[in-house]
Amino acid sequence: MRIAIIGGGYVGLVSGACFAEFGVSVAVVEADAAKRQMLLEGRIPIYEPGLDKLVADNAAAGRLTFPETLEVGIAEAEAIFIAVGTPTRRGDGHADLTYVYAAVEQVLKALDHPAVIVTKSTVPVGTGRTILEMARRLRPDLAVEVASNPEFLREGSAIPDFMRPDRVVVGAESERARAVLRQLYRPLYLIETPILFTGLETAELIKYAANGFLAMKITFINEMADLCEKVGADVNDVARGIGLDGRIGRKFLHAGPGFGGSCFPKDTLALMRIAEEAGAPSRLIQSVVAVNDHRKDGLAARVVAACGGDVAGKVIAVLGLAFKPETDDMRESPALPLVRGLVSRGAQIQAFDPEAMETARPLLPARVTLAADAAGALTGADALVLVTEWNEFRVLPPARLRELMRGDVVVDLRNVFDPAPLRAAGFTYTGIGRPLP
């Protein structure tokens, strides 16, 4: 079986490499010449554990290619996946579909055989129907079908998520489209992965509903953390207590600085706009967006309070810049408003992240010092703020912190440290939703 994927970014590259691992012949069409050249040379433009080897192995086997033109890429492809960006549209919060429709138009004009066009990008409800109308208008001479196949990949664990998913969702309204997608995902069917076939609009909404619900769980436990701080409860135990209820589940109940990344912020905004325009406004999602924005905006004030009310002239070590571990993605990272807020209050920032230094550099104020390692960020610091829970930060011993730091303030925005040893070593520890001694 042969398929093409338009867009060699995060979703397109991961999906292409994983489909190739299934034994499918995959052409990933990347319009950015510099990125394409990197891929041809075996260099991966994003950080995702295991992706470099997966791409290299399947490229060497001839199953994964990066053709120079779209025409070559889609030749003889039974399915053509659209995996280009859908960023938030400036001014109104809607998903910007400029790249999606441009890619579809290029595909339709170049296509010379029947095929199924599949949206892999996260697109608003009704996008598939619009693409179907484009196909009927631009290529009435060809049998072009349209399907929706939303991705549910978590950055940092995208390959396991693709290879062993909870489910596969396919929105398709013709038997031919369903047959092509069923054949493509046959390796997952053999391991009894649920494959849910729906209509186009339903599949598109499933993706938004899933991300909206997960973002709501994060926001809920963050609000419970604030309440815990007021009443002397422990949010970690609250999360365990409710997470053990099978109706609720344990995942996404980790209190922290608020959600970021490439999906939740833009998808909650888009879902909010979709619901408003449909005449069924989602007040829950509206609240999730507002509460999360407020939480991230208030992070600097939390650190200032832990430092006695003033950070002017103080050196603050910030460990972790990416929005989550095992990625270099800085999109909507809580570290950005935190660092900017501290710098605006006169603090000197020494920051380190194991993977996100290069992506973070142009996004941070010029006065921020990017250290070579965690020790460099901690050296001479008056306070430590842990933002991203990389494993190498979890194992920092209190004695090492005492050796490197000048001050004694630790602000743990992920609750990864054990407060008792830190306090025993003379540190003033502040977590999220954890009771004071």
Active-site residue numbers?
263
Q: How far apart are CA 135 and CA 138, in angstroms?
A: 5
Identify the three-state secondary structure at position 315: strand
Assess contact for 147 and 176: CB atoms under 8 A: no
- Angle, helices 264-277 vs 283-297, to 10°: value is 150
Q: How many other β-carbons are positioned within 10 Å of the β-carbon of residue 42?
A: 11
Strand partners, 348: 315
Query: Is the CA virtual torsion 241, 244, 245, 251 positive or negative?
Result: positive
Assess contact for 186 and 4: CB atoms under 8 A: no
| Residues near 33 by beta carbon (within 8 Å), at least 6 away in sequence | none
Q: How far apart are CA 226 and CA 420, in angstroms?
A: 21
Q: How far apart are CA 204 and CA 314, in angstroms?
A: 48
Sequence-separated contacts (24+) of 360-367 with Cβ below 8 Å: 360/321, 360/322, 360/330, 360/333, 360/335, 363/330, 363/336, 364/321, 364/336, 364/339, 364/340, 365/339, 365/340, 367/343
Q: How far apart are CA 294 and CA 273, in angstroms?
A: 19
Rg (CA), the chain: 24
Q: How far apart are CA 200 and CA 172, in angstroms?
A: 6
Assess contact for 300 and 237: CB atoms under 8 A: no
Report which residue type is found at 308.
Answer: G
Q: How far apart are CA 412 and CA 416, in angstroms?
A: 7
Phi-psi region of 407 (alpha: psi -120 to 50; beta: other; left: phi over 0): beta
Question: Buried b / exposed e across 105-138, counting CB within 10 Å, b at 16+?
Answer: ebbbeebeeebbbbbbbbbbbebbbbbbebbeeb
Question: Buried b / exposed e across 52-83, counting CB within 10 Å, b at 16+?
Answer: eebbeebbeeebbbbbeebeebbbebbbbbbb
Identify the three-state secondary structure at position 429: strand
